[in-house]
Amino acid sequence: MLFPTIDFAVFFMVVFTGSWVLRPHKVAWRVFILAASLVFYGWWDWGFLYLLMASIGINWLFGLLVHRALTVDGERTPASLWLVRIAVVINLGILGYFKYFDFFVTSIAERLNSLGISMSTPVLQIVLPIGISFFTFQAISYVIDIGRGHWREPLSLLDFAVYLSFFAHLVAGPIVRASEFAPQLDHLPDPRYVKSAEAFMLIFRGMFKKVVISSFLATQVVDPVFRLPGAYGRWEVLWAIYGYAIQIYADFSGYTDIAIGIALLLGIQFPLNFDSPYAATSLQDFWRRWHMTLSRWLRDYLYIPLGGNRGSKLFTYRNLFLVMLLGGLWHGANWTFVAWGCIHGGYLVGERVVKERWVGHEIGLPPKLVTALQWFLTFNVVCVAWVFFRAQSIGGAFDILWQVVAGSGTNSGVTALLIFVIVASVASQFVPNSFPRRVELWFGRLAPILQTAGLGVGLLLIDALGPEGVAPFIYFQF
């Protein structure tokens, strides 16, 4: 069920009404939200509900066992450590089967065939359950946090089921931790003080990003150029690369804006997931602003357990590179995602080396010019990495990049409107946060009926500007 559809609008009206009617009744409200979330997830393929429910049952049980294995003071024991490891292995095993089995078997077979060893590969045609990476990472964080002694009591089965399946963040994030979500279950919000203005602004902004900007860039230049790069000149290919950088940002941040807004209307607060990432002046800064909930997850559950920066410089560099490599592989079973992770990991290491070597040295350039150059380099490195992320193969990615250097095709999809959309989208990243906040405060002073009417007019405008139909969000495949 896609957010920008009539189906979801009807679904949400039912959920919104039922949620506020039942909110004073804790058990009934939980059961209602759980049922609504299962309907939302099952809308794509009812057969995958078993996987979500199995994940809920397995991880709740391991959370309970891990908690019982801790000392009375909440300290780790050998038994609790082993239980956490087993839970992580089971979760990653399920994720790996659905997401990577065919990829690794095919890769091994191709390698053996290149060495003259014939190997037939089983064709399982495994269908990837939507959102499996997101709810698996949330489940892993819950079990690990219990193992670290961060919970006095584990969640009840019903509370954990609501947390893991909550429809707003279920299929594409943000990756919400149980410690951020569970305390809100017992909080009884006053419907008179719901942050409707903030929610409506988030929903409008998210819909505009997805339906108008992302869809326009995809159909106008990104999809045609990436489908047949040889038919386009270097100018068109360059704008297609920049266009995809904006497309994926508008698509993904648009989804999370809508998700956060929907949750707010139900009295649930989600963490921020994007903060003007294309204004970053370093790749480290970029990852503090892009998919922030995944960045925090990788830091707390992978980078720090690997040793973080507590060892030698080489040890730290290894950890940085390995985390980004695994972060790339998390996105999908393709060598293009591995290459994307390697580019980010290698550049992060390079940044560290340069900063450590040049600290305290003056380079004789005005500070503003240095900042501008840092931004330009960071933005273009990110865009080059996005080429591998978008391409279907490593060879296809290099074909795109080579066209920037030597492209001589005659097709053209670059218009003044396209350039304006891309440039304006990048420029919007530098708008101070105080400006949209002032707009939100002004909107919040309007009467609720005017707010609702304003959102309705905005959605009609988006529908008029957007194309026919709505493509799935890019991150649904992860």
Q: What is the DSSP string of 84-108?
A: HHHHHHHHHHHHHHHHHHHHHHHHH
Residue with tokens 């921020």: 272
In the prediction, which pLDDT does 273 show? 93
Q: For 244-270, write each residue's pLDDT tens digit.
A: 999 999 999 999 999 999 999 999 999
In the prediction, which pLDDT does 340 show? 95
Every domain of the chain and the residues it spans? 6-188, 196-468
Q: In the predicted model, what is the mean pLDDT of residues 227-255?
A: 92
3-state DSSP call for residue 60?
A: helix
pTM: 0.90
Distance in angstroms (rounded) separating the CA atoms of residues 412 and 410: 6
339: pLDDT strictly greater than 90: yes
Q: In the predicted model, what is the mean pLDDT of residues 51-65?
A: 95
Q: Assess whether 331 carries a catalytic annotation.
A: yes
HSE-up of residue 450 (Cα within 13 Å, Cβ side): 6
55: pLDDT strictly greater than 90: yes
Q: For 2-25, write each residue's pLDDT tens digit.
A: 787 888 889 999 999 999 999 999
In the prediction, which pLDDT does 106 show? 66
Q: For 450-478, write each residue's pLDDT tens digit.
A: 878 887 888 788 877 777 766 667 776 66
Q: In the predicted model, what is the mean pLDDT of residues 389-404?
A: 92
27: pLDDT strictly greater than 60: yes
In the prediction, which pLDDT does 333 show? 75
Closest by Cα among 281, 258, 260 to 270: 260
Please state, rounded to an integer, the average pLDDT across all residues of the chain: 87
pLDDT more than 90, % of the chain: 55
- The DSSP bridge partners found for residue 232 are 411
Whether 221 and 243 have beta carbons less than 8 Å apart is answered as yes
Q: For 321-335, write each residue's pLDDT tens digit.
A: 999 999 998 887 788
Closest by Cα among 187, 173, 176, 182 to 151: 182
In the prediction, which pLDDT does 91 show? 94
Q: Which of 67, 169, 291, 331 is catalytic?
A: 331
